[in-house]
Homo-oligomer: A and B are copies of this chain.
Amino acid sequence: MAKPPKANSPITEHLAYLLAQANREINRQLEMRLSKEGVPVEQWRILKVLSDGNGHSMGELADAVLLNHPTLTKMVDRMVSDALVYRVQDPKDRRKVLMFVSDRGKALSKRLNSLAVSQEEHIVENYGDKSTNELKRLLESLIDSSN
């Protein structure tokens, strides 16, 4: 009854492939929307995570926004130049750096969130309410089961 793909079955039957394909497509759509603000998807994630107002260490942030540490460091460098975020040394643990969002970053984050929400509304329109929620539920549980 369980059917992982056979060795000779098409690649489109592999979960890993379907995930990559769906992610690529949805990400591209989001990227196009966010390009209105000239910002890559990763910066939306960073600003959104930081928008809880709390300081987040680089490591914590890297996990949350799905980036490797060095990649995040360099992207944050750019965002600091653009005055969207700033670094503060963590007084409790001076190895750590706490990231905060600036007012300018908050304002941009709001505009980006509108674009992201409107994308998801667009998906829900075409794909359906039920499917969307069910897919989200399954993805969450896949992620949980992978830890």
Chain A residues near B (Cβ < 8 Å): 1-8, 11-27, 29-30, 41, 45, 48-49, 51, 64, 66, 110, 113-114, 116-117, 119-121, 123-124, 126-127, 129, 131-136, 138-143, 145-146
Residues A30 and B18 in contact, CB atoms below 8 Å apart: no
Residues A127 and B113 in contact, CB atoms below 8 Å apart: no
Shortest distance from the beta carbon of A22 to any chain B beta carbon, whole Å: 5
Copies of the protein in its oligomer: 2
Q: How far is the CA of A11 from the CA of B145 in the complex (A)?
A: 20
Residues A64 and B15 in contact, CB atoms below 8 Å apart: no
A13 with B113: in contact, given A19-B22, A143-B25, A146-B26 (CB under 8 Å)?
Answer: no
